[in-house]
Amino acid sequence: MKILAIETSSEVCGAALIFDNKIISEKNILLPKKSSSKIFEIVKKVLKDEKIDCVAVDIGPGSFTGIRIGVSFARTYGQFLKIPVIGVSSLDCLVYKFNSMHLNEYKKIYPVIDALRDEVYTARYSGLKKETEYQIMKIEELKKRSRKNCVITGNKEICEKLNLKKACIETRLTSSAVGMLAGAKTIKVIKDNYKNVFPLYIRRAFAEEKFGYRK
């Protein structure tokens, strides 16, 4: 099965073509601001004239704007081509990418994505298995949990912000990670399921919170 994988949930914007758990083509660019706007031309370069059987997309948490663009793009593709759409969490993708580089080196993993306000999006994993719910955690609380046989992983910027030195190992999100994780789910999805794929925000955007407060 050929999977078009989309990553727009962070400073990374990318697309990959995956076939039978192999990367056929991939392009990821690092543009901290408005990188998701490049997804259309990236997909065109990655796909060329290839036909696809499924679309996978990073549904978050992460950049609200980036997630919306990626999910909308994937849903439109799924609807137009009448193929399945698979949503994958950015935290799962970080753990997958981390494990591919540091297999079995750590018992517990906390992937982290900056949620601003001195908070991070995270969950606790053992290998690829998620042991807790996706959540928002205060940075100070996260620091307390960094201990022997436990590691925190995220992009360069969040690792520098946490200032945990060797306790935080840099891992970047990639579109191929989205595709590889989606490959394990293709048996469970059906065509025309695009209506059931939604962003994973965990909390509302600041503007929505402010509007809700006023009401």
> The CATH number of the domain where 159 resides is what?
3.30.420.40
Mean pLDDT is lowest, of 64-73, 76-85, 98-107, for 98-107
Of 152, 170, 188, at which residue does a domain stop? Answer: 170
* Residue 32 and residue 78 in one domain: yes
Q: What mean pLDDT, rounded, does the chain reach?
A: 89
Q: Note whether 152 and 84 are same-domain residues.
A: no
157 and 193, same domain (yes or no) = no
Q: What is the pLDDT of residue 164?
A: 87
In the 3-class helix/strand/coil scheme, how is the chain assigned residue by residue? CEEEEEECCCCEEEEEEEECCEEEEEEEEECCCCHHHHHHHHHHHHHCCCCCCEEEEEEECCCHHHHHHHHHHHHHHHHHHCCCEEEEEHHHHHHHHHHHHCCCCCCEEEEEEEEECCEEEECCEECCEECCCCEEEEHHHHHHHCCCCEEEEECHHHHHHHCCHHHEEECCCCHHHHHHHHHCCHHHCCCCCHHHCCCCCCCCCHHHHHHHHHC
Question: Do 23 and 117 belong together in one domain?
Answer: no
How confident is the model at residue 88, as a pLDDT?
96
Which domain range does residue 162 map to? 91-170
| Same domain, yes or no: 122 and 135 | yes
Q: Same structural domain for residues 50 and 122? A: no
Using pLDDT thresholds of 50, 70 and 90, give the confidence band for residue 34: low
Q: Which of 75-79, 83-87, 116-120, 191-195 has the lowest mean pLDDT?
A: 191-195
Q: Which of 84-88, 99-103, 154-158, 170-174 has the lowest mean pLDDT?
A: 99-103
| pLDDT grade for 184, boundaries at 50, 70 and 90 | confident
Shared domain for 72 and 132, answered yes or no, is: no
Using the predicted structure, report yes or no on whether residue 210 has a pLDDT greater than 60.
no
pLDDT of 212 strictly over 60: no
Query: Same domain for 152 and 95?
Result: yes
Q: Are residues 165 and 179 in the same domain?
A: no
Q: Give pTM, 2 decimals.
A: 0.90
Q: Are residues 106 and 122 located together in one domain of the fold?
A: yes
Number of domains in the chain: 2
pLDDT tens-place string over residues 86-115: 999 999 999 999 999 887 677 799 999 999
Do residues 67 and 99 both lie within one domain? no
Q: Out of 154, 170, 186, pick the residue that ends a domain.
A: 170
User: What percentage of the chain has pLDDT greater than the value 90?
Assistant: 71
Residues 178 and 166 in one domain: no
